[in-house]
Amino acid sequence: MAEVLVLVEHADGELRKTSAELLTAARALGEPSAVVVGEPGVTERALVALGEAGASKVYAAEVDGADAVLSSAALDALTKLVAEKSPSAVLLAHTADGKDIAGRLAVRLEAGLLTDVVELSAEGARQAVFAGSVFVDAKVRTPLAVYTLRPGVVEPEPQQSSPSREDITIAAPNGARVVERVVEPRGARPELTEASVVVSGGRGVGSADNFALVEELADVLGGAVGASRAATDGGMYSHQFQVGQTGKTVSPQLYIACGISGAIQHRSGMQTARTIVVINKDADAPLFEIADFGIVGDLFTVLPQAIAALKARQN
């Protein structure tokens, strides 16, 4: 069976949800091998979780300074592994880092590249194009295929294994380096891209103060808070929580859109959610077209009622 390389996304050895999704998706193409890039010791911390996620082998590319050079270390590690192992494909998450590495890797190795993939099989891939307004079936014709998989479109399927570990040596990175990291406060809510429930507000929320209502609903549901570009550009909410083509892509179990009309750019970042609920007083809002459940009403009337009902149910 052909080997498939999966670039693991992690936070100091703690796997992100996307890594388990990638390892699950890779089984459709061959034998999934995880590639861990980071500071010395990081692979050991990730090994058990990678085995639970179904990795058959783990390649460890550990080098001092790896975390300070953004994507360079991962790019070099994948380049070396492709040359030595001749895999049939390389899978990465369709995140900022994943897109950066995938594009550079494909150019460096003259490999075919498909991005924002939402379905993957041995016959080819389905990908979102034109800001998610169209889905197309495509197939890579080069010997090596590089894919970026949209987070959340694959349900992780644990498959217990005892992966072997192989250390690979890469040169110490000497390119542009990160000199400072500023961590934005997130509070107790889950990470936006990994949350199973996302409640987002748009222009219809009206003001930053009114976003407290959106936050309260998210907290009752144990979810994350998102916002449309209109809301973030209007100063109602931080840009780090923007959902859409120029923000973050989410694919939760439940997405609740409050006061969001549904521009194509926003839809591209959330339309693969399992269940979409739209609350808007404009019955002609485009987002109703993809809603599983729609409420035509004033969000300032609907949300307090929903919050009260949920709290009563919890009690």
Helix (H) or strand (E) holding 225: strand 224-227
pLDDT at residue number 180: 81
Per the model's pLDDT, the better-predicted residue between 105 and 181 turns out to be 105
pLDDT at residue number 215: 97
Band the pLDDT of 129: cuts 50, 70, 90.
Answer: confident
Helix (H) or strand (E) holding 61: strand 57-62
CA distance 51 to 75: 24
**Residue 210: closest CA among 310, 285, 304:** 304
Mean per-residue pLDDT, 137-150: 96
pLDDT at residue number 297: 97
CA distance 111 to 177: 27
What SS3 class is residue 170? coil
Mean per-residue pLDDT, 224-235: 97
pLDDT at residue number 4: 97
Quick one: fold of 3-167? Rossmann fold (3.40.50)
Please, which residues bridge with residue 248 across strands?
243
pTM as predicted: 0.81
CA distance 285 to 64: 52
What lies within 8 Å, CB to CB, of 230 at 6+ separation is 202, 203, 260, 263
Extract the tokens encoding 308. 């009260």
Mean per-residue pLDDT, 241-250: 92
Band the pLDDT of 233: cuts 50, 70, 90.
Answer: very high
What's the pLDDT tens digit per position in 255-304? 999 999 999 999 989 998 999 999 999 999 999 999 999 999 999 999 99
Mean per-residue pLDDT, 9-24: 92
Return the number of other C-beta atoms located less than 10 Å from residue 207's C-beta.
11
Band the pLDDT of 186: cuts 50, 70, 90.
Answer: low
pLDDT, the chain, mean: 92
CA distance 80 to 78: 5
Bridge pairing between strands 254-258 and 197-201: parallel
What lies within 8 Å, CB to CB, of 104 at 6+ separation is 71, 75
pLDDT at residue number 152: 84
CATH architecture of 192-314: 3-Layer(aba) Sandwich (3.40)
CB 21 within 8 A of CB 6: no
Band the pLDDT of 109: cuts 50, 70, 90.
Answer: very high
CB 74 within 8 A of CB 37: yes
Band the pLDDT of 175: cuts 50, 70, 90.
Answer: confident
State the span(s) of the chain assigned CATH 3.40.50.1220.
Answer: 192-314
Band the pLDDT of 33: cuts 50, 70, 90.
Answer: very high
